Amino acid sequence: MIELVLIGAGTGHPDHLTLQGVRALQEADLVLIPRKGAGKEDLAHLRRAMLARHRPDGAVVEVDLPARDPEMPYLQAVEAWHDAIARAWARAVDLPQGGSVAMLVWGDPSLYDSSLRIAARLGWRARVIPGITAIQALCAAHAIPLNSLGNEVRITTGRRLQEQGWPGGCDRIVVMLDGGCAFRALPPEGLTIWWGAYLGMPEERLDHGPLAEAGPRIEAIRAEARAAHGWIMDCYLLALTNRPQEAHGACTARTPATPGPLSSP
């Protein structure tokens, strides 16, 4: 039996790796490093740097990940993509007698990450070492609490925000996996945004303020950063400050943002 140990690696800072994660990394029989193709080499470099620091010796295998088909319907494309990734993992892992395979996962394996679903396709037993999420890193970078006093927070995606508008029952939402600045689809009045990209990394970029003012700045910064690095990982917190949530319940007042490539948490 192969045990896949998913280790939350934080959002790019080498100190985000917990002591529990370091120990699991050192005890694994094999470490799997996924490569996401041209333009995203930084992600593999960061994993290698963590290994050089915490596990300089030991078996390591790198695997090229397939890309998701952008022409297929989204959910169908994701299912096919996960099937292809599972096959790539199976080809890369050579442990005929079984053993443990460690993989560093950005953020935390429990939040908008599909490694657990992919492992289930292979029948591998999974163990999770929790890590620092992009949400934690975002709030820390801005020195803000996640929730307002006594209220709920909704975690959603750019795609859902664009399709459904502001969710009811909360005055704050965290938006992840937004490749197209879905906040453009919301009436900006009474909304405040805290945004961050490359959180924890030397390239970290932050902005915040009233959405009407900060939104255009964020769009420009995001486009510039993506062009410079070839990839971007970002997320943001939106808060209703001066208007009731019913005013933001639908996204019909503005032209929805055009979906772009998904960013990671």
The parent domain of residue 224 ranges over 135-248
Q: Is residue 216 part of a domain?
A: yes
Per-residue pLDDT, averaged over 208-233, amounts to 95
- Whether residue 108 sits in one domain with residue 8: yes
Q: For residue range 52-108, what is the model confidence (pLDDT) as tens digits?
A: 999 998 899 999 989 899 999 988 999 999 999 999 999 999 999 999 999 999 999
172, HSE (Cβ side, Cα atoms, 13 Å): 18
The predicted model scores a pTM of 0.84
- Look at the chain and report how many structural domains it folds into: 2
Q: Are residues 9 and 126 in the same domain?
A: yes
Domain end residue (candidates: 132, 166, 201): 132
Q: 43 and 67 in one domain?
A: yes
Are 110 and 26 in a shared domain? yes
Q: Which residues pair with 193 in a beta bridge?
A: 209, 238
Across 173-193, average pLDDT: 95
Does one domain contain both 126 and 141? no
Q: Are 42 and 117 within one domain?
A: yes
Q: Is residue 261 part of a domain?
A: no
pLDDT computed for residue 161 by the predictor: 95
pLDDT at 45 over 90: no
Q: How far apart are CA 41 and CA 56, in angstroms?
A: 20
The whole-angstrom distance between residue 83's C-alpha and the CA centroid of its chain comes to: 20
Question: What string of DSSP letters covers 54-123?
Answer: H-SSS-EEEEEPPPP-TTS-HHHHHHHHHHHHHHHHHHH---TT-EEEEEEESB-TTSS--HHHHHHHHT
CATH number of the domain that residue 189 is part of? 3.30.950.10
pLDDT digits (tens, 9 = 90+) for 139-164: 999 999 999 998 999 999 999 999 99
